[in-house]
A and B are shown apart, each in its own frame.
Chain A
Amino acid sequence: MENKPKNIPESTDDIIGDVTGSEYKYGFVTDVETDRIPVGLSEEVIRLISHKKGEPDWLLDFRLKAYRYWLTLTPPHWGHLNIPDFDYQAISYYAAPGKKKAPGSLDEIDPEIRDTFNRLGIPLEEQKHLAGMAVDAVMDSVSVKTTHREALAEKGIIFCSISEAVKDFPDLVRKYLGSVVSYKDNFYAALNSAVFSDGSFVYIPKGVRCPMELSTYFRINASGTGQFERTLIIADDDAYVSYLEGCTAPMRDENQLHAAIVEIVVEDRAEVKYSTVQNWYAGDAEGRGGVYNLVTKRGLCRGDYSKLSWTQVETGSAITWKYPSCVLAGRGSTGEFYSVAVTRNHQQADTGTKMIHLAPDTRSTIVSKGISAGYSENSYRGQVKVTPAAEGARNYTQCDSLLLGSNCGAHTFPYIDVMNPTAIVEHEATTSKISEDQLFYCNQRGIPTEEAIGLIVNGYAKEVMNKLPMEFAVEAQKLLQITLEGSVG
């Protein structure tokens, strides 16, 4: 290790005292004229959204059913979160970038948007093209550009926005939409089903291995708009796909709501890998502003020997309420969940997973690493359920929490239900701070405390980082470093 002279802070406390140091690096607003409808939510608004998007009647019915159901619900309060009351009539439920015509080439994209993406490091440009990624960049709610479509189409892979899919592949969308996350699932799922604006649709046909990582960068942009993404991924028999999702959001003063749904269907022997790097604006050092990230993500391993793997790196959002889940309905199917969640300042995160074992020989692994700093609250909440039919089911869960500073909280809430005697379910959780011994050892070898903390935290999160696709791992590591820069040095 390179040993450069540096101002070594007095103690860990000093370093942690610098929590507020790093300002949100990606905080800027793009000025693009947006086509938005009046604030508020009513049947009229839903009809208008549906009409603007030129949707068929069945989809409008779906939205209206969801809306009527949503009216009967109240927001859930069981999370270890303090969610301020949100006025659902005060936001606009639809915003699309002003220019309607789909661009034919990169040059046609609004230069300002392109610039935004460039500053975010979003790979619409040539070098990323060479990197072999197809990027479906979602600016506010409508897909701006989808690249690599043709290369994928050759293999029969469908990767497009969900609105396009509704037009071009209505049968597929109709068959699967709402099949994993019903509009009756929860408050936010009902809301999303009623007003979802856009999102990605992926279909991998039988026996096809998707040759590249599919990725979507979400971005909340227009001021005061809600973001209601809806992603639907279907991997048919023997298919394979790795899907990447990453978010950054510009600096905002008012809270923004993000209630997305991700649905994944995995058929016989297929495999889906879903990776997320989430870095929505987390609010300022006093906890003002920031995104409310209230997301329902669920995958159905319907086929025998299918596999679904969730990997997430959560560093942003004022409030995170998110439980990517696996329903293991196919014999021998596998569910995985790897998560690193970092909270600092006044961030609150209540995140985890559900592994529902319905079929024999199903296996699941959960590795969750929480890092709390400042005045933040970081909770793991997960359920492992083994139903009577899940003969020989196996689960391993490991939840570790690392505390940086004495004003933050780290909590673990696992729910374990076992209804089959042949199942083996294991859960382990630990909570600790960075050991003085490790720090002392690093100091003794000439590594300044702040670097040592970074090093230890990176090592701590490695198990999860390693599960990310290579291109993403670099970005995630960078993100973790940027986040920790403010917190620990």
Chain B
Amino acid sequence: MSSLTQYTDLYRQTAAKIDANSAPVLNALRPAALEALDRAGRLPLPSDEGFEKTSIEEMYAPDFGLNPDRLPIEADIAATFRCDVPNLSTLLALVVNDRFVPTSTLIKNLPEGVTVCSLREAALNHPDLVAKYYGRLAPLDVPGVALNTLLCQEGVFIHVGAGVRLHKPLQLVNIFSARFPFMAPRRILLVAEDGAEVQLLKCDHTQTPGVKYLSSEVVEIYAGAGARIGWYDLEESSAETARYSQFYLRQERDSHFDSCTATLCNGSTRNEYNIDVVGNGCHTLLAGMAIGTGSQHVDNNSQLTHRSEHSSSRQLFKYVLDDRATGAFEGSIEVAHGARFTEAYQSNRNILASRDARMHTKPQLLIYNDDVKCSHGATTGQLDAEALFYMQTRGIPMKEARRMLMQAFLVDVIDAISLEQLRDRLRHMVENRFSGDHTTCTTCRNNPASKI
């Protein structure tokens, strides 16, 4: 039996509660989501194209609990928690499991024309605005999206009005905290109107290691004409944490989207990026890195579609895999009929540092137009033996030399980040990570586990 049924059954039993603790706009999509799930019958399996190395069925198989009653979470977390990016002043908000918790700095400092609030609140206060965007990009015929839509009760809503520039980056700290196996259906809806500018730093942390945790995340982002969006996503969870993140972006004319996803510590992660470039003259940058040790599993899947003229995109994903870590990358660039003058590049480079590490790569090009420049490259190998030898002859111990080379290998992913302080911080985190220091956000480590 598919692990999907336990969630659809749960929904059927608790539908009234789920609806009551959510908003009509969110509830409106649930029947269609349920129907889509019944039609699908199951979640993706490795036998499905595109899921060769990650079984979503297996990810959802444990008997995870949900919080349909919205039982309150202790509020002092907001006061004690700070994610540690030195010198970077951000507008901070927390998401504890699937609950949005704004901080006082966020509430006080939000400029005019910018809304950052719980999706439920937004759906209650501005139903028309949320209904216009919610669930429009993420299609319900994708089982993961349908399941998220079925169970999601709140989430994060970010709206940046036309022409508004946010000078401070927004920071969203996702905290996983539970005492029993728990699943959080998360949702982010980001709307950047024409000419808006926003940068968002998001990090995932698990505060209760040893507890099985599943984060089901659906992100929908609208980039209006000329909008500029920076999206930085750091994952530092635990070995018991599974993350299934599905990201949908639509880019209008002349918009710029920069992103970097770093998976430093995790259990099993599947990130899907679906990017639809519909306007002319857009630019898209998708960068990603994964450092895997132990039995970490990282699967990044990008589907980028160019439907317009004169747009460019660049994708860069790098993996360093040690121990029994497994990595997978599937990236496809589709240049639709009529998308002339497209330039699209994709690169995936991987280092296997141990005998049992595995890497699976599937870069794809689907080109339906002749006036394009597209390429992809993929390599899997190890550190250059000559460089290692050279460094040893200069008195650098083997271990140190390896660390330096691995760090150097990842540097161009880090350089893709436009926030300087974050770049420095990530460089430092990567350094720590290679020296075997797993938890890098110091305050996370000190922070007592929150309670539900």
Contacts and interface: CB of A to CB of B under 8 A. Distances in A.
Interface string B360-383: 111111111111111111111110
Given A409-B366, A411-B366, A413-B362, A423 B372 contact: no
Nearest to B52: A415
A406 B335 CA distance: 11
B53 to A, nearest CB: 9
Given A406-B337, A406-B370, A429 B379 contact: no
Contacts of B52: 415
Contact of A418 (B352, B366, B371): B352
Contacts of A407: 337, 368
A429 B363 contact: yes
Given A426-B379, A427-B378, A421 B355 contact: yes
B371 A433 contact: yes
B372 A411 contact: no
Interface string B110-150: 00000000000000000000000000000000000000000
A429 B376 contact: yes
A409 B337 CA distance: 9
B362 A415 contact: yes
B363 A412 contact: yes
A409 B339 CA distance: 12
A416 interface: yes
Nearest to A16: B370
In this complex, the interface size class of chain B, counting residues with CB under 8 Å from chain A, is 35 or more
A410 B375 CA distance: 12
A453 B337 CA distance: 23
B21 interface: no
B360 A417 contact: yes
A404 B370 contact: yes
B127 to A, nearest CB: 43
Contacts of B381: 423-426
Interface in B346-398: 350, 352-382
B218 to A, nearest CB: 27
Interface string B68-92: 0000000000000000000000000
A160 to B, nearest CB: 42
A372 to B, nearest CB: 8
A20 interface: no
A406 B370 CA distance: 5
Contact of B365 (A418, A425, A431): A431
A82 interface: no
A399 to B, nearest CB: 9
Interface in A396-453: 401, 403-433
Nearest to A415: B362
Contacts of A424: 379-382
Interface centre among A404, A407, A416, A425 (most CB of B within 10 A): A416
Chain A CB within 10 Å — which of B358, B367, B368, B374 has the most? B367
A475 to B, nearest CB: 28
A197 to B, nearest CB: 34
Nearest to B369: A406
A433 B366 CA distance: 14
A78 interface: yes
A21 interface: no
B49 interface: yes
Contacts of A170: none
B368 A409 contact: yes
B337 to A, nearest CB: 7
A11 B365 CA distance: 28
A427 B379 contact: yes
A403 B358 contact: no
A274 to B, nearest CB: 27
A404 B358 CA distance: 39
The main secondary structure of chain B at its interface with chain A is strand
Contacts of B368: 407-409
B358 A412 contact: no
Given A418-B352, A425-B381, A432 B374 contact: yes
A434 B350 CA distance: 32
Contact of B362 (A78, A406, A410, A414): A414
Contact of B363 (A404, A414, A421): A414
A384 B67 CA distance: 45
Given A410-B365, A411-B365, A417-B360, A425 B370 contact: no
A419 to B, nearest CB: 5
B337 A418 contact: no
Given A427-B363, A431-B367, A421 B353 contact: yes
A136 to B, nearest CB: 39
A401 B365 contact: yes
A428 B375 contact: yes
Interface string A102-118: 00000000000000000
Given A406-B370, A406-B371, A431-B372, A416 B378 contact: yes
Given A412-B364, A423-B380, A425-B381, A418 B358 contact: yes
Contacts of A205: none
A19 to B, nearest CB: 13
Given A425-B380, A428-B377, A401 B367 contact: yes
A432 B337 CA distance: 14
A388 interface: yes
A112 B353 CA distance: 65
Contacts of A403: 367, 369-370, 372
Contacts of B340: 406
Contacts of A413: 362, 364
A305 B76 CA distance: 68
Contacts of A427: 361, 363, 376-379
B352 to A, nearest CB: 4
Contact of A429 (B337, B355, B375): B375
Contact of B373 (A417, A428, A432): A432
A203 B200 CA distance: 66
A419 B380 CA distance: 10
Contacts of A406: 337-338, 340, 369-371
Contacts of A433: 370-372
A198 B60 CA distance: 51
B367 A410 contact: yes
Nearest to B354: A421
Nearest to B340: A406
Contact of B376 (A80, A408, A412): A412
A432 B382 CA distance: 31
A417 B379 contact: no
Nearest to B376: A429
B352 A420 contact: yes
A425 B351 CA distance: 10
Contacts of B362: 413-416
Contacts of B361: 414-418, 427
A438 to B, nearest CB: 14
Given A418-B359, A421-B354, A428-B375, A412 B380 contact: no
Interface in A70-116: 78, 80
Nearest to B373: A432
B281 to A, nearest CB: 19
Given A78-B49, A406-B337, A432-B373, A411 B367 contact: yes
A416 B360 contact: yes
A426 to B, nearest CB: 5
Contacts of A428: 375-377
A410 B340 CA distance: 14
11 contacts: A388-B355, A406-B371, A414-B363, A415-B362, A416-B359, A420-B352, A421-B354, A421-B357, A425-B380, A427-B379, A431-B365
Given A409-B367, A424-B380, 6 more contacts: A409-B366, A410-B367, A412-B365, A414-B361, A421-B352, A427-B379
> 6 closest Cβ contacts across the A-B interface?
A403-B370, A421-B352, A416-B361, A424-B381, A433-B370, A427-B378
Interface of B: 49, 52, 337-338, 340, 350, 352-382
